[in-house]
Amino acid sequence: MLALGKLLELTLAGREPAQKIQLTVDGVQLRWLSEGALEVRPPEARDNGSDLLLSSGIHGNETAPIELLDRLLHGIAQGQIKLRTRILFLFGNPEAMRRGERYLELDVNRLFNGRHEKNIGPEAIRAADLEQLARNFFSLPGRSRLHYDLHTAIRGSKIEQFALYPWKDGRKHSRHELARLRAAGMEAVLLQNKPSITFTAFTYEQLDAESFTLELGKARPFGQNQGVNVSRLETRLQQIIEGNEPVTDSLDGLQLFSVAREVIKHSDAFLMHLPADVENFSPLEKGYLLAEDLAKTRWVIEEEGARIIFPNPKVKNGLRAGILIVPTTDAGLV
């Protein structure tokens, strides 16, 4: 197989390929951009006008999505997947991937939309580089733009596979994209309602892509992802790549949530009153004292049907320690 089809192998070895551009036997161009970044372009006659950014490894120990992208790239490089879509494959944090750690010093997925400029170190530089790679990739006019940033979670979840849909003032969420996610196996989508500092928030807000963070199960080491079933997502991605995706607008079985409140950790005195192994989407009763901090700051559950996702009292001061969410409807979709 072509050396550039082995992007994961090159990334984990910390190696740079001798050839930066290679062609498959059916004319697909593979172009090395930088460490962990590969653009794949179909022959002009087969190009359907779609641009797809597939990122994973933003957290280096979330290996199932990395392995998924590796399989897709292998299929394209070997001619088994007939490419009609221009793709940018990105492995977000190569050094963390090599060490099998979530991140080294800073959570890369909290460093976008200007946040990297307020920090120093290799991960802040990497976030700036990822923004520029995405900006360059999505710079061609007149093409559709889709970004899936693939993750697995620190903890278990009562809803195992779900997506987060970023927000931008004046822009409505797409029913078509939600139906596509449902067909790809997502059981729930969180419709966000404020700006964010994640990678998908950057591509959604700044680059006008349809962008989604996908949570696919629990994080495990390389080679131990038999329990993470990404078969429906893999099938749908292959259909998108080949341009033969079945049309559907059905949201049947898809649960929709909106953000009620974010729990922000302000100091080292922060306390979260949840078990260490609490799962994402765990329900919380009204009146429950969820967390407290300095200056008598208290988070008491007031919302009907509230649930918690991403609870993490160990985050750095000033960062989000959890999100309170509530059920919502599809009334605002277009």
- CA geometry: angle 201, 131, 183, nearest 5 deg: 45
Tell me whether residue 274 is exposed, middle or buried, using C-beta atoms within 10 angstroms of its C-beta: 0 to 12, 13 to 18, 19 or more. Answer: middle
**Numbered ranges of CATH 2.40.50.630 in the chain:** 263-327
Q: Is 177 annotated as a binding residue?
A: no
Between the alpha carbon of residue 127 and those of residues 52, 80, 109, 114, 330, the distances in Å are 19, 33, 8, 10, 33
Q: What is the mean pLDDT of residues 35-41?
A: 98
Instruction: Calculate mean pLDDT across residues 251-272.
Output: 96
Q: Is 147 part of any known ligand binding site?
A: no
Residue 220: pLDDT band (50, 70, 90) is confident
Annotate the chain with three-state secondary structure: CCHHHHHHHHHHHCCCCCCCEEECCCCCEEEEEECCEEEEECCHHHCCCEEEEEEECCCCCCHHHHHHHHHHHHHHHCCCCCCCCEEEEEECCHHHHHHCCCCCCCCHHHCCCCHHHHCCCHHHHHHHHHHHHHHHHCCCCCCEEEEEEEEEECCCECCCCEEEECCCCCCCCCHHHHHHHHHCCCCEEEECCCCCCCHHHHHHHHHCCEEEEEEEEECCCCCCCCCCCCHHHHHHHHHHHHCCCCCCCCCCCCEEEEEEEEEECCCCCCEECCCCCCCECEECCCCCEEEEECCCEEEECCCCCCEEECCCCCCCCCCEEEEEEEECCCCCCC
What does the pLDDT read at residue 270? Answer: 97
Amino acid letter for position 53: L
Residue 332's pLDDT is what?
86
Q: Decide: 63 and 219 in contact? Cβ < 8 Å.
A: yes
- Percentage of residues in the chain with pLDDT exceeding 90? 90
Q: In the CATH scheme, what architecture does the domain 3-242 have? A: 3-Layer(aba) Sandwich (3.40)
Q: How far apart are CA 315 and CA 321, in angstroms?
A: 6
Cβ burial 128-145 (10 Å sphere, 16+ → b, else e): bbbbebbeebbeeeeeeb
Structural tokens at position 226 = 């038999």
Structure tokens given for 232:
């429906």
- Cβ–Cβ under 8 Å, residues 306 and 326: yes
Q: Is the pLDDT of residue 157 over 90?
A: yes
Beta bridge partners of 261: 324
Do 256 and 327 meet the contact criterion of CB atoms below 8 Å apart? yes
**Measured in Å, how far apart are the chain's first and last C-alpha atoms?**
43
Instruction: Give ranges for CATH 3.40.630.10 in the chain.
Output: 3-242
Residue 222 is predicted with a pLDDT of 80
Can 205 be counted among the known catalytic residues?
Answer: no
Of the candidates 215, 242, 245, 279, the residue annotated as catalytic is 215
- Structure pTM? 0.95
Contact (CB, 8 A) for 187 and 159: yes
Tell me what the pLDDT averaged over the chain comes to: 95
Residue 59, annotated as binding a ligand: yes
Confidence (pLDDT) at 104: 96
**Given this model, what pLDDT does residue 296 score?**
87
| Dihedral sign from CA coordinates of 243, 248, 249, 255 | negative
Domain 263-327 part of CATH 2.40.50.70:
no
pLDDT tens figures, 90-115: 999 999 999 999 999 999 999 999 99
